[in-house]
Amino acid sequence: MTIPARKGTSVALTAGQKLRVENTFGSQVLDTWAFSAADFGEYMAMEATRSWNSRLTPAVGDVLVSNRYRPMLKLVEDTTPGVHDTLMCCCSPGIYAKMGYPAHDNCEDNFHAALKAIGRDVDFTPGPLNLFMNFPVTPDGQITREPPVSKPGDYVVFEALVDVVVVFSACPQDISAVNGAGRMPTDAHYTVFGDAQ
């Protein structure tokens, strides 16, 4: 299935199923959220995920943890060098307004639109898992901004540990090089496979 350039979408997974997320053209950042299908009050929380794993960025074998400190997804495969981001908010009307582009497409609106498309919404925006985003942290705690290091066809695979709804936004940032030096947001793709538990 396609995650269209500059847009959001969602996919429901049953516990035990796997989700393969491909950076088809290599340099597209995918802001990613997850909710418990049974209760959208339970959401994947980067602050809980960092606490559980004692790591800034999940590695293969790590779990992604909810605001209730329960594992929701497990990262089971990653063909990239493992560079993703858990630190930064998604791009939003506020960010683009500050940059001088007040009407720019943005991941926050994409996130809420993707939820509304399935008849849901939440009144806040959790901090996302920014797949493929390359914002290195210097030893003195500065956060820098670099293009992705992933290559076309690179992918990550998650296993659903509970029934979840995953939301993606193919980040529409085309002012900086977040989505590659070409500053051209692209489609990405996902596949669901494996048996439910």
User: Which residues sit at the interface with its own copies, rule CB under 8 A?
Assistant: 41, 43, 45-48, 50-51, 54-57, 67-70, 87-89, 92-95, 97-98, 123-125, 127, 137, 139, 141-145
Residue closer to its own copies (CB basis): 55 or 151: 55
Q: What are phi and psi of 129, to 5 degrees?
A: -85, 115
Q: How far is the CB of 87 from its own copies (least distance, A)?
A: 5
Q: How far is the CB of 17 from its own copies (least distance, A)?
A: 24
Contacts of 39 (CB under 8 A, 6+ apart): none
Residue closer to its own copies (CB basis): 24 or 67: 67
User: What is the Cα–Cα distance from 54 to 50, expressed in whole angstroms?
Assistant: 5
The two three-digit tokens of residue 119, written as one number: 């008849």
Sheet containing 154-160, strands listed edge to edge, beginning at the edge strand earlier in sequence: 2-3, 188-193, 18-23, 154-160, 71-78, 63-65
Beta bridge partners of 23: 154
Closest among 137, 166, 152 to 50, alpha carbons compared: 137
Q: How far is the CB of 12 from its own copies (least distance, A)?
A: 21
Q: How far is the CB of 114 from its own copies (least distance, A)?
A: 18
Residue closer to its own copies (CB basis): 54 or 193: 54
Q: How far is the CB of 175 from its own copies (least distance, A)?
A: 14
Residue closer to its own copies (CB basis): 50 or 189: 50
Q: How far is the CB of 117 from its own copies (least distance, A)?
A: 22
User: What is the Cα–Cα distance from 188 to 35, expressed in whole angstroms?
Assistant: 21
Residue closer to its own copies (CB basis): 10 or 86: 86
Look at the block and give the residue holding tokens 């959220």. 33
Residue closer to its own copies (CB basis): 69 or 181: 69
Identity of the amino acid at 71: P
Distance of CA 4 to the CA centre of its chain: 14
